[in-house]
Amino acid sequence: MSSKTEIELRREFHTYPESGWTEFRTTARIIEELESLGLKVEYGPSLHVKEKMFGLPDPDRLEACYERALKESDRPDLIEKMKGGYTGCLTRIEGALPGPLLGIRVDIDCNDVTEAADEKHRPFREGFASVHPGCMHACGHDAHTAIGIGLARKLVEMRDRLRGTVLLVFQPGEEGLRGAASMTAAGLFSDCDYFIGGHIGLKNYPFGTVGVSSTGILSSTKLDVFYQGKAAHAGASPQLGRNAMAAAATAVLNLLAIPRHSDGASRINIGTLEAGSGRNVIPDKARLTIETRGATPAINEYMEAAANRVIKAAAEMYECGYSTQYMGGANSVECDMDLADWIGEVAAPLKGVTNILRVFPFGGGEDVTTMMRDVQKHGGKVTEMAFPFPLIAPHHNNYFDIDENVIDLAIRVYTEIALRIADFQNK
């Protein structure tokens, strides 16, 4: 067993953040820790379905991150097995007694943010800020990872009291809703009787609040669009061009103009747009990154269909070729409230738990829902928990930091659930 505490682990992960599909060093460290507990760990291509690994970085970036990880890790042997983006891992902790299969998932990737180099920012001040420019754990997945390891430690310790099995999943690429689809398609969760996700932070509540179900996880689709036009000299022969930027600008305005849906929240964003090649050249190419959201899968599908129609028509308007690439996505989920309420009863008496929030207003996207929907489809029950605390800075901000006490709290709540889930089954 490693000599590092969970808080120390969290700080180590914070120092070496890795974004979606490049969590090479991170996964290797998780494997080391889990194997040091005597656990068998699965990792590499068997955890994934290649065609479902959405939003992979471009090959150059993937290779560069791989090389970086090889240098930063003590275990290049592990990393080599993840080459190509096959990051993440899982382990099964089998109890001494029979009982249900409980899946618990934590996510391990970081954000594309450059961390604040400012004395006011604790990770910088205390020397554990990111050493990877453009990468930062600004969403708490460093803590999630540490919680996963801490939970494994506890459960191994208490294995004789454990009834059933805990499937502990360390998922890559949650940002951009990219990693869950691939693991789910690999069939890893279909036999779970129960499945729990969780997130720290997110909203301002007093420390000690535990959300036992979540709402407002919007369904979402991530798309990249590329327009191929034709260059021409803007002064000498503008009529010979096919203006990819004009197509993109038309798409942008008309995407934003997709009608609101009266059944619930809908969203569309064109996050980035790059177009053209020179001031005096009719722009021959344009690239957009887009996301749609909806309060329900149906609303998101409506947005996505409308978006595809706009994208196509804008191309045709300017005689441009175009391609659309699916980069990620997930659907909203309905938590099973009987499970959630039972968890509330289990968690309420625990030390440090001051308030049970029956329904946590999640707000953002979260692709653990893909796993959850798969479990529900096979007859299991699921919920997405929340461990909020007063936020210093918003998630994804370069000053984001956490209340590290939440790590211990979450480990203890999860542990208690795992030890008692057989009771719920027997109710």
Given the rule CB under 8 A, which residues bind its own copies? Answer: 112, 176, 218, 220, 222, 233-239, 241, 243, 245-246, 248-250, 252-254, 256-257, 259-263, 265-267, 269-283, 286, 289-291, 293, 302, 309-310, 312-314, 316-317, 319, 327, 363-365, 394, 396
Select 113 or 343, whichever has its Cβ closest to its own copies.
113
Question: Given the complex with its own copies, which of 28 and 282 has the nearer CB atom?
Answer: 282
Other beta carbons within 10 Å of 424: 20
Least distance to its own copies, CB of residue 46, Å: 29
Nearer to its own copies, 1 or 313 (CB): 313
Q: Taking the complex as a whole, how short is the minimal distance between the CB of residue 275 and its own copies, in angstroms?
A: 5
Cα angle 249, 255, 258; round to 5: 145
Q: Which residue, 159 or 287, has its beta carbon nearer to its own copies?
A: 287
Relative orientation angle of helices 405-426 and 337-347, to the nearest 10 degrees: 120
The amino acid at residue 82 is M
* C-alpha Rg value of the chain to the nearest Å: 23
Which residue carries 């007063």 as its tokens?
390
CB of 81 to its own copies, least distance (A): 30
Closest CB to its own copies among residues 220, 415? 220
- From residue 392, alpha-carbon distances to 36, 125, 397 in Å are 35, 15, 10
Distance in Å, CB of 175 to its own copies, minimum: 9
| Residue whose structure tokens are 């503008």 | 238
Residue 94 · residue 158 · CB < 8 Å: no
Smallest gap from Cβ 328 to its own copies, in A, equals 9
Token pair for 72: 């930063």
Decide whether 156 or 234 has the Cβ nearer to its own copies: 234
Positive or negative, the CA dihedral 14, 15, 16, 19 is positive
Minimum CB–partner distance for residue 67 and its own copies (Å): 22
Distance in Å, CB of 255 to its own copies, minimum? 8
Nearer to its own copies (CB atom), residue 194 or residue 302:
302
Q: How far is CA 384 from CA 35, 381, 398, in A?
A: 27, 11, 26
User: How many Å apart are CA 134 and CA 181, to the nearest integer?
Assistant: 25
